[in-house]
Amino acid sequence: MEYVQKTMKEIVIFIDKVIERLKPEQIKQMLDTLERVYRDGHKVLVMGAGRSGLVGRAFAMRLMHLGFNVYVLGETITPSIGKDDVVVAISGSGRTKLIVTAAEAAKKVNATVIAITSYPDSPLGQLADIVVEIPGRTKMAPDIDYFARQILGIHEPLAPLGTLFEDTALVFLDGVVVELMHRLGKSEADLRAKHANIEL
């Protein structure tokens, strides 16, 4: 039990400090783009690898509840994307080959790429039309990972690998969902009406 509560507290403190470091102009660009794609009826493709992919799936699920035409990379029912569609690419390092390659393909068909990453100068960040910088320790080597130590003032965080980025990205994207609810005039009842009913 020694590490459970310590780690939970460390993650909460980290996320709280990251909130103060977020760049409002980046968030506004993302929100404006998502609102536009919703109102125009275009598609959103969410992608990430590993645990970042699970964060992406959680975000895509909420976008579906909001009424977005949303898909997740790798699913058999995911259609082609094109001009005016939006890709949300989640990668802490911004170097995950699958995600960078997919973002390159999205750019070739003139889709808008939104990158959620800790490294705006990474290959993914440089490809993206919009970058939302989410500080967080990634699974890269410790000499490259400096965000957690810088923010928490500790030598090495308890949470392993990319946990701090992944948890922070999840909480950030949940905040995006709530902002979109208000922008689009959606209530919790509206979201519940879109929730799967065959598993109840």
CATH of the domain at 103: 3.40.50.10490
pLDDT tens string 102-144: 999 999 999 999 999 999 999 999 999 999 999 876 555 454 4
- 93 or 197: which leads in pLDDT: 93
Domain-embedded: residue 66: yes
pLDDT tens string 150-160: 555 555 566 66
Q: Which domain range does residue 167 map to?
A: 28-186
Instruction: Record the pTM.
Output: 0.88
What is the number of helices (H) and of strands (E) in the chain?
Answer: 8, 5
Which candidate in 156, 166, 188, 199 is catalytic? 166
Domain-embedded: residue 9: no
Domain-embedded: residue 67: yes
Strands, sheet with 43-48, edge to edge from the N-terminal-most edge strand: 69-72, 43-48, 86-90, 112-117, 130-133
pLDDT tens string 20-72: 999 999 999 999 999 999 999 999 999 999 999 999 999 999 999 999 999 99
**Residue 35 annotated among the catalytic residues of the structure:** no
Q: How many domains does the chain contain in total? A: 1
